[in-house]
Amino acid sequence: MHGPAETVEQFLAVLPPQRRTAAVALRATILATLPAGFQERLQYGMLSYGVPWESGVGMLALVSVANHGPYMAFYFNCVESGGEEALYARWRASGTPCETGSRAVRFGSLDELALDVVAEFVGGASASELKASYTRTLDR
């Protein structure tokens, strides 16, 4: 396939087997814990999970999954200042490797994912708090 994926299925189909296994497990965990009002979309070439924003056209993503050259990344968005360190600490406490950068945890295989931490983070989200957090970020 050339160019960016247009569907979730296309995104997953082009991944090498080890990454596909990890991405499918990560997606299943996210979908199983995604609160009411959240949606799955392909946004900016990534699997994104969030809530419609203002006009209903865009989406404010809580988490996203991207495929980059040498690794994949699990991005968590609209986290209050310092919140990423708490997430990293929970990830590391699970005994799972935690290579980080740009509010993301990098991974290449299923054994590099702390799915219980993902489930806790995603399941604890609320659409109204995500929107409020984003608005606070804009006000700074």
What are the tens digits of pLDDT across the range 6-54?
Answer: 899 999 999 999 999 999 999 999 999 999 999 999 988 899 999 987 7
Q: Which long-range contacts (CB under 8 A, 24 or more apart) does 101-104 make?
A: 101/73, 102/73, 102/75, 103/75, 103/76, 103/77, 103/79, 104/66, 104/73, 104/74, 104/75, 104/76
The architecture that CATH gives domain 8-139 is Alpha-Beta Complex (3.90)
**From the CB of residue 109, how many other CB atoms can be counted at a distance below 10 Å?**
12
Look up residue 123 and give its two tokens.
Answer: 């399941």
Cross-strand bridge partners of residue 75: 64, 104
Q: Which helix (DSSP H) or strand (DSSP E) does residue 133 occupy?
A: helix 127-139
pLDDT for res 81: 64
